[in-house]
Structure 1
Amino acid sequence: MDVLDLARWQFGITTVYHFLMVPLTIGLSLLVAGMQTAWVRTANPKYLRMTKFWGKLLLINFAMGVVTGIVQEFQFGMSWSAYSRFVGDVFGAPLAMEGLVAFFVESTFLGLWIFGWDRLPKRVHLACAWAFSLATMVSAYFILAANSWMQHPVGVEFVDGKPRLTSIWAVLTNNTALAAIPHTIFGTFAVAGAFLVGIAAWHLWRRRDDDAPVWRASVKFGAWVGAVAFAGLAITGDVQGKLMFEQQPMKMAAAEALCHTEAPAAFSIFAIGDVSRPDCENVKSITVPALLSFLAHNDFSTEVRGIEDLVTEYQQRYGTNYPVDPQLGELSGKPIDYVPNLPVTYWGFRLMIGFGAIGALVGLAVLWLTRGGRIPRTRWFPRLALAGIATPFLANSFGWIFTEMGRQPFVVVPNPSGVDGVWMFTARGVSALTTGEAWTSLITLTLLYGVLAVLEVFLLARYVRGGVAGVMPPEKPDGEKSDDRLAFAY
């Protein structure tokens, strides 16, 4: 592999790994704040115990997310310095806002929440929980605004070969970002809901402690959150699909392996054959007639352009060959391949939807199986519940892989309706590294992330097995509760 391939693999591995932590942190923080609100309002100790248990797991995941997230920004300068110079004037604002406004607020109120038990008034302490959890959403907003600019550049003008920011408001209110943000937030709730259902159902099946009310409430809460989240994902995903039809028609065609223009266009449910070829000669697909036209434009007659026609259009607009430039390595002077990796985009899109639906169904199945105090005693029940935890994580990962891979060969996608000249080929963004340096970085970071994965699984498993008793402060001999101000400290 050349430097470009190695840099892309490295960024893909570290980003997908980091994004395993992000949705759980965002979704679980909001659910924990809801649990604590229930405790403050009702004084029911069940909700306090839920807050303590799920809050401990939240903190482990948050800490690991911070550690893995730091690498992401360093990678811009390490492996993608040319890209960083190109987008720096635009990205500086939202990334600075994410660090100064969101992350610092998030960290400050998280610290107050950790050490504020029995020191702060209950309602003030609860306000810290909500401030922390809402700040995670604001942080995600700024990051998604930056990513959405790469998918649909706005608020800039092209000056001296680089985009220059003219309106930060246009960047923050980019319609691509406004569609991505609710979709991502619903995805975080799907992850957090499945997390609650899987672990709580496993504890119910064990029947080894006296906290059955905690686990039953967690199962019910998580299952309904997951079901609502999947419905929200379907609605917001439909909005994103219509924007994709307008802004990135090649990505839509790649998602469907739609090689030839169709009017009306059918939606492919399942393809049999080799989808890697852009002529689709060996592909047989099970389809729903005219559904893709409806998803693209809310009617059953809209024409959806196929890959072959789009390649011709892209060649006319953006050129047929890469420039002759030693920095482009093996691609210097070579024809530009405008077709994304079709197996990844086609199957990634379907795996995203499929795993999301499976996660919601598992949550509802567990809720049904545990109704009225029932607890199935078969061994498949805890396995089903625990396996259900993985499904929304996989759906989120495949969704991001589809989003990023579907825009290739661009790292900054052209805006088809404005801001002429603002785009960048992925091959243009990589740093001037040697192959040995790229391999060293890729291997080192992959091994480091592997160690961190083992550490997180170990810590989560330890506290999950410990149950509620493992996170509640011990009682003094005279019955008075001990000081639990450091109950969450590590």
Structure 2
Amino acid sequence: MDLGRLQFALTAFLHFSFVVVTLGLAPFLAYLNSRAVFTRKPALRPVFDRMTRFWGQVYVINYALGIVTGLVMEFQFGLSWTGLSRLTGDVFGTTLAMETIVAFFVESTFLGVWIFGWHLLPRWAHLLSFYVVTATAYASAYWIMVTNGFLQNPVGFAKRDDGTMYLTDLSALLTNEGALPALYHLAAASLGVGGFLVAGASAWHFLRGTDDPEVFRRSLHGGVALGLGGVWLAVLNGFTQLSFIGDQEGKSAAVHGDAEALAAYQAEMTELLGPGDWAPPEWLSTAFMTMQMAGYLAWTIAFVAACFFFRRRIEQNRTMLRILLWTIPLPFVAVLCGWLIREMGRQPWAVYGEVAVKDALSDISAGSMLLSLIAFVSVFAVLAVIDWVLIARTVRRGTSRMFLGLTLGDNPEGNGPTGGDGSRAERDEQGRRTASDTDAGTLSPLPPL
């Protein structure tokens, strides 16, 4: 049982780090793409186009590798948690299926349209495809939180004689108080993660001396604003989570570090489930304190950074730039501590008050569980390292070497920040000049295709 819990905790922990980046960057990219399409200042259109392409690369890398970790997460229900699937699959299997349809079919399809439709689709249609991507990303998060909300606060079900659950009230399941407030909190925290990632990466470019200051100045300001707003909303929504924590005795006792209440809860669970270590871990109070401190500190840093917006002082203040660079992990720490509290505090229940963790496990040996633990965690760790290495390399290259949105005349090795960002008329003119040169024999003697 301990191996099974550790396996799910570590894989969920790593997968979740991909999810929050995706949710945090998607609205920011939608905004940049909208400015690139609808801005009334022609001089700004290439700037926003480069910003969209640059941060879109980070999004695509993170999304592609995150998809793989999401697949493994669902495999675990059939490998390690068949008891949970058998007893409750008729309820939360519906919401998991909806998440799969939304994420893997709709979101992935339209992301492909956005990636490969650059300069081929009308600009408004290309933009619309990413709005669909953003909407389905949050729809996917909704279905996942509805599924998790049922595990936290089971509603809308009845039990058969054999103990299996079946759905009786879809409305109660979809509006579960264990899901919707947590979704708002998660969405806001993800915006904070995305904002600080953008701000920190932009700060790095100013510290090293960027060759595209306009792109990274606007990115820096946008990232700080997004991080400030996201963290502040997460703090406000976090207070609603405290009332929900109070409904779970063991979680409440662990979060508040109440040793006496934890001992009473352990005695109650021992009487109900038999001998065992059933109380949530005491270190959840440390995780709760760390989450709060990280959130407040991130908000303070973003607020101070925003005060430097005037007269472009933030780009010139190397101390502030270094602080923003080193603050990138801070929102991740807050988000992951919150997830640990939500999941570990549910001990000893897989479905709170209904299905114990020991009954949710598959009937397999400890050796088999250990083997799958090593395999899954190793794969996830490798994917996480690859993700961050690729993102770091992409960020370091800047806007002069971008792969997203390349056109026929672009040089992917980089000829400055303007490649591939001209207007449609400029590209057509370039094509006419190329055709003219070809006809005059100044290029290759090969016949035209």
TM-score (norm 1): 0.79
Residues 243 and 198 (structure 1), Cα distance of their counterparts in 2 relative to 1, 3 Å cut: same
Give me the CA root mean square deviation: 2.3
- Map 1:347-366 → 2, pairs under 5 A: 347-366=286-305
SS of 1:164 mapped into structure 2: strand
Residues 351 and 379 (structure 1), Cα distance of their counterparts in 2 relative to 1, 3 Å cut: same
| Alpha-carbon distance, 1:237 to partner | 1.2
Instruction: Find the aligned partners of 1:130 and 1:138 in 2 and give their Cα distance.
Output: 12
SS of 1:433 mapped into structure 2: coil
The yes-or-no answer on 1:196 pairing with 2:193 is: no
| Alpha-carbon distance, 1:17 to partner | 0.3
| Alpha-carbon distance, 1:364 to partner | 3.1
SS of 1:411 mapped into structure 2: strand
Aligned residues of 1:204 and 1:375 also touching (Cα < 8 A): no
Which of 354, 371, 389 is the aligned partner of 1:458? Answer: 389
The yes-or-no answer on 1:25 pairing with 2:22 is: yes
Stretches of 4+ aligned residues off by more than 6 angstroms: 376-379
The match for 2:311 is 372
Instruction: Find the aligned partners of 2:266 and 2:314 in 1 and give their Cα distance.
Output: 56
Aligned residues of 1:155 and 1:167 also touching (Cα < 8 A): yes
| Alpha-carbon distance, 1:9 to partner | 1.0
Which of 263, 269, 282 is the aligned partner of 1:342? Answer: 282
- Cα displacement string for residues 247-272 of structure 1 (whole angstroms, at most 9, x for unaligned residues): 313312211012xxxxxxxxxxxxxx
| Alpha-carbon distance, 1:222 to partner | 1.3
Which of 11, 14, 17 is the aligned partner of 2:11? Answer: 14
The match for 1:253 is 253
- Cα displacement string for residues 208-261 of structure 1 (whole angstroms, at most 9, x for unaligned residues): 30x21111111111111111112211221111211222x313312211012xxx
- Cα displacement string for residues 270-300 of structure 1 (whole angstroms, at most 9, x for unaligned residues): xxxxxxxx24xxxxxxxxxxxxxxxxxxxxx
Residues 214 and 434 (structure 1), Cα distance of their counterparts in 2 relative to 1, 3 Å cut: same
- Cα displacement string for residues 44-76 of structure 1 (whole angstroms, at most 9, x for unaligned residues): 222111111000000000001101111001011
| Alpha-carbon distance, 1:379 to partner | 6.8
Q: Structure 2: where are the runs of 5+ without partners?
A: 411-418, 432-449
Aligned residues of 1:193 and 1:222 also touching (Cα < 8 A): yes
| Alpha-carbon distance, 1:372 to partner | 2.0
Structure 2: which amino acid aligns with 1:73?
Answer: E
Structure 2: which amino acid aligns with 1:365?
Answer: V
Which of 157, 172, 175 is the aligned partner of 1:173? Answer: 175
| Alpha-carbon distance, 1:131 to partner | 0.6
Instruction: Find the aligned partners of 2:317 and 2:101 in 1 and give their Cα distance.
Output: 51
- Cα displacement string for residues 191-224 of structure 1 (whole angstroms, at most 9, x for unaligned residues): 1011111001111222230x21111111111111
| Alpha-carbon distance, 1:338 to partner | 4.2
SS of 2:185 mapped into structure 1: helix
| Alpha-carbon distance, 1:164 to partner | 1.4
Q: Structure 1: where are the runs of 5+ without partners?
A: 259-277, 280-305, 323-333, 415-422, 484-490
| Alpha-carbon distance, 1:320 to partner | 0.4
Residues 106 and 402 (structure 1), Cα distance of their counterparts in 2 relative to 1, 3 Å cut: same
Instruction: Find the aligned partners of 1:79 and 1:29 in 2 and give their Cα distance.
Output: 33
| Alpha-carbon distance, 1:340 to partner | 0.8
Aligned residues of 1:78 and 1:431 also touching (Cα < 8 A): yes
Instruction: Find the aligned partners of 1:426 and 1:236 in 2 and give their Cα distance.
Output: 29
- Map 1:277-356 → 2, pairs under 5 A: 278-279=259-260, 306-308=261-263, 310=265, 314-315=268-269, 320-322=271-273, 334-343=274-283, 345-356=284-295
Structure having the higher helix fraction is 2
Residues 379 and 217 (structure 1), Cα distance of their counterparts in 2 relative to 1, 3 Å cut: closer
Instruction: Find the aligned partners of 1:339 and 1:390 in 2 and give their Cα distance.
Output: 30
The yes-or-no answer on 1:117 pairing with 2:118 is: yes
Structure 2: which amino acid aligns with 1:394?
Answer: V
- Could you tell which deviates more after superposition, 147-156 or 383-392? 383-392
Structure 2: which amino acid aligns with 1:453?
Answer: A
The match for 2:130 is 129
Instruction: Find the aligned partners of 1:479 and 1:179 in 2 and give their Cα distance.
Output: 49
| Alpha-carbon distance, 1:428 to partner | 1.5
Aligned residues of 1:23 and 1:188 also touching (Cα < 8 A): yes
SS of 1:175 mapped into structure 2: coil
Instruction: Find the aligned partners of 1:467 and 1:189 in 2 and give their Cα distance.
Output: 22
- Could you tell which deviates more after superposition, 106-115 or 452-461? 452-461
Residues 28 and 347 (structure 1), Cα distance of their counterparts in 2 relative to 1, 3 Å cut: same
* Percent of aligned positions that are identical: 36
Instruction: Find the aligned partners of 2:109 and 2:125 in 1 and give their Cα distance.
Output: 14
The match for 1:401 is 340
| Alpha-carbon distance, 1:386 to partner | 2.1
Instruction: Find the aligned partners of 1:61 and 1:398 in 2 and give their Cα distance.
Output: 21
The match for 1:57 is 58
The match for 1:300 is none
Instruction: Find the aligned partners of 1:180 and 1:454 in 2 and give their Cα distance.
Output: 28
Residues 76 and 461 (structure 1), Cα distance of their counterparts in 2 relative to 1, 3 Å cut: same
- Cα displacement string for residues 386-414 of structure 1 (whole angstroms, at most 9, x for unaligned residues): 22111111111111011101110111112
Instruction: Find the aligned partners of 1:368 and 1:204 in 2 and give their Cα distance.
Output: 18
Instruction: Find the aligned partners of 2:264 and 2:253 in 1 and give their Cα distance.
Output: 10
Aligned residues of 2:203 and 2:322 also touching (Cα < 8 A): no
Instruction: Find the aligned partners of 2:172 and 2:117 in 1 and give their Cα distance.
Output: 39
| Alpha-carbon distance, 1:369 to partner | 4.6
The match for 2:414 is none
SS of 1:7 mapped into structure 2: helix
Instruction: Find the aligned partners of 2:426 and 2:93 in 1 and give their Cα distance.
Output: 55
SS of 2:204 mapped into structure 1: helix
Aligned residues: 409
SS of 2:118 mapped into structure 1: coil
Which of 335, 346, 359 is the aligned partner of 1:428? Answer: 359
The match for 1:298 is none
TM-score (norm 2): 0.86
Structure 1: which amino acid aligns with 2:300?
Answer: L
The match for 1:437 is 368
- Cα displacement string for residues 89-139 of structure 1 (whole angstroms, at most 9, x for unaligned residues): 111210111112343111111111111111111111111111101100000
Structure 2: which amino acid aligns with 1:237?
Answer: G
- Map 1:33-44 → 2, pairs under 5 A: 33-42=30-39, 43=42, 44=44
